[in-house]
Amino acid sequence: MHLSWPGGPLRGTAHPPASKSEANRALILQALAGGGTIGNLSDAHDTQLMQRLLAAAPGSSELSAEDAGTVMRFLTAYLSVTNWRGRLTGTARMQERPIGVLVDALRQAGASISYENQEGYPPLQIEGFSAKSDGAPTRLAVRGDISSQYISALLMVGPYLPGGLRLELTGHVGSRPYIDMTAALMQRFGARYSAEGNALTVLPQPYQSTDYSVESDWSAASYWYAMVALAPAGSEITLPWLRRESLQGDQTIAKMMTHFGVKTTFLADAVHLQQQPAAASTEPLTLDFTDCPDLAQTVAVVAAALNQPVEMTGLESLRIKETDRIAALQAELAKFGGDLRDLGEGRFRTESNGFAVNGQSVATYHDHRMAMAFAPLALRGPLTIEAPTVVKKSYPQFWKELAKSGFAISEAD
């Protein structure tokens, strides 16, 4: 897909999809509760897939989570405690993404799960659940620096474990906002949850049927922040249905983007983004993405394009996403004169040398966030996005929204 910007400021209203992080958690909780209505569900592929698989599970012995990490991990826990029997699989890439930590924990809780091929990776054969009967809470310990999706999966099924769940997170805890989001949604559905440091407790009390409306997605909003940062002077845009009091950790994009000249004003039912001169600073900018790894690609591209060196930490989980996002960023930034340099000890530095956009073609690596993180560069010059349909995973209307906002878009031959 060819993208270019005809000139002049970017202005108007754009509509990010509903949060798939909230939606996929709410759908699992709704299924466990046995009722309730989830409003403002996204048309993102992952959310639609979760809905379909939850509906199909009772009459099916084989389900595919395709390339959706939250779907694979949340369903592994859900299907186990609901005593489902069958095969849970995914795409070739999904079969390269580890799930052993979650499976080990569920086995300790009473699940019967085996690996079809490689130990620690899908496909999984799930063969029911054997509940213990002593009335004591199920006690599990997992590393805190693993994917928060494992931790969220365990927490959500906690009320249905005999005696509830006592989950101890060991070591450093990453992606804490996603764990907090899960806990807050569980409580909306009637769970009794408490946390004492890294010890998380869920009492054995079934969820209640609940109506819930999903907020718009801050991860998707980040691409509009990038556009305002890279657009001509005077650019501004409004994004509806984003909340000041958000459950989403990626709301931190509002604070991060102040460093790149984007001011956020919270309205009653929206946010307004306005370009302004970036604050001058003599200190190197350091940003930690431990709690918001999905923002890393967006920020890396903007920083390189604006020639603002940024030291980035907390990128460990990027290696096992839809692709190796660190390697993908390094390869694609290099085409424009940018780099994500590995400094060692978990530190990376965005740099650029003569950064220019002049018709390059961006590979997307089957990764929706690669396509959307690089698309805003079209405000600086023409470019081509390869395999643009990858955005269906989280933001199916992304290209239509860009066209409505004034981008010139045409399909490549």
- Of residues 46, 67, 294, 367, which has the active-site annotation? 294
Give the annotated binding-site residues: 20-21, 25, 69, 97, 147-149, 175, 294, 321, 325, 369, 393
Token pair 């592994």 in the structure block, residue:
76
Which CA distances in Å does 3 have to 38, 338, 379? 35, 20, 9
Binding site membership for 3-phosphoshikimate: which residues?
A: 20-21, 25, 147-149, 175, 294, 321
- Distances from the Cα of 258 to the Cα of 9, 177, 229, 289, angstroms: 19, 21, 9, 16
The phi and psi torsions of 330 (rounded to 5 degrees) equal: -60, -45
Q: Is 294 a catalytic residue?
A: yes
65 within 8 A of 28, measured Cβ to Cβ: no
Q: Rounded distance, CA 302 to CA 307, Å?
A: 8
Query: 366, 355 in Cβ contact below 8 A?
Result: no
Integer Cα distance of 319 and 366 in angstroms = 14
Helix ranges restricted to H, 257-367: 296-305, 325-334
3-state secondary structure of 191: coil
The DSSP secondary structure of 97-161, one letter per residue, reads S--HHHHHHHHHHTEEEEESSSTTSS-EEEEEE----S-PPEEEEEETTS-HHHHHHHHHHGGGS
Is residue 228 within 8 A of residue 298, CB to CB? The reply is no
The residue written with tokens 């046995």 in the block is: 34
> Helix 100-109 and helix 69-81: axis angle, to 10°?
10
* Catalytic site positions: 294
